[in-house]
Amino acid sequence: MPRRPPLPSGRTFSLLFLILVPLAPLVPGELSGQELPDHEDFTRVLDEVVRMPLVDYQHLQENRDGLDRYVDALYRTSESSLEAAPREDQLAFWINAYNACMLRLVIDHYPIETGRAGLFGRIRIRVAGYPDNSVWQIRDVFTRDHCPVAGAHRSQDEIEHEIIRPRFDEPRIHFAVNCAARSCPPVWPMAYTGPELDAQLDRAVRHLMAGKNDFQLQEGDPPILRLNRVMDWYAEDFGGHEGLKEFFADYLDPERRELVLAPETRVEFFDYDWTLNDTQP
């Protein structure tokens, strides 16, 4: 999900293989016409397991049929149906796809324990400083092509960096996609939908701004705007640090807006906690 310090992976070799041996996967039982999945099915899954900002992964693992059916519907959605849908419906589809696939990847490897990443993976994780109870214990967690969506098996990175970000130019997605970490903006107990997307994304922004470890605007010499580290990783999507100040200014009252836009206000970032966002101790 984020622009973390990169860990070596087999992604390069996978891409080379795809270039040399092109695949044309068949999509059995494609959803017909312009039909997209019913995101209410995903809402029912989320409502059962999300305890904001945490997720009950154990319950989801033991009751995964609803999630698996929803992911199957994502797979059977044709790209032509997606391309014919309104922009908001497309973006809601891909946000839900990212979150559903992340949930399924976690429960496929739950409980998350030290050692799942293999010997060299453990060394890389320790050097990077990631906690033992994090998705980094899953080998190639963001780069493996594990998620069947729109007729192809995709990675979390492909969905976020090759589809959502370049196609939609919507920085608020960084308040919506969830990477299963405690510092990640939370997954909500309802799916995103096209008709409600703008309001849902604004709500996600305001929710993060209410968190004391995600947003702080402090007076001083100089004043400091301190943000969730995700905003640092994706500052370019907001227009850099000055763009971040302008983005959050739109959500503030006039007095705080003036403070955040002051040229001397400095932008800093909180440390990031990669611990799994699990309800279990």
Give the pLDDT of residue 29: 53
* Percentage of the chain lying above the pLDDT 90 cut: 79
* Mean pLDDT value across the chain: 88
Report the alpha-carbon angle 131-201-212, nearest 5.
Answer: 50
Q: Which pLDDT tens digit goes with each residue over 201-240?
A: 999 999 999 999 999 999 999 999 999 999 999 999 999 9
For residue 228, the one-letter residue type is N
Sheet containing 224-227, strands listed edge to edge, beginning at the edge strand earlier in sequence: 215-218, 224-227, 266-269
Whole-angstrom Cα distance, residue 231 to residue 122?
Answer: 27
Q: What is the 8-class DSSP label of residue 77?
A: S
Give the pLDDT score at 114.
64
Over range 156-160, report the average pLDDT. 98
**Confidence grade of residue 129 (pLDDT, cut at 50, 70, 90):** confident
Q: Which pLDDT band holds residue 30 (cuts at 50, 70, 90)? A: low
Q: What is the pLDDT of residues 39-62, one digit of tens each?
A: 999 999 999 999 999 999 999 999
Give all strands (DSSP E) within the chain, no chain letters.
50-51, 54-55, 147-149, 152-154, 215-218, 224-227, 266-269
The predicted model scores a pTM of: 0.86
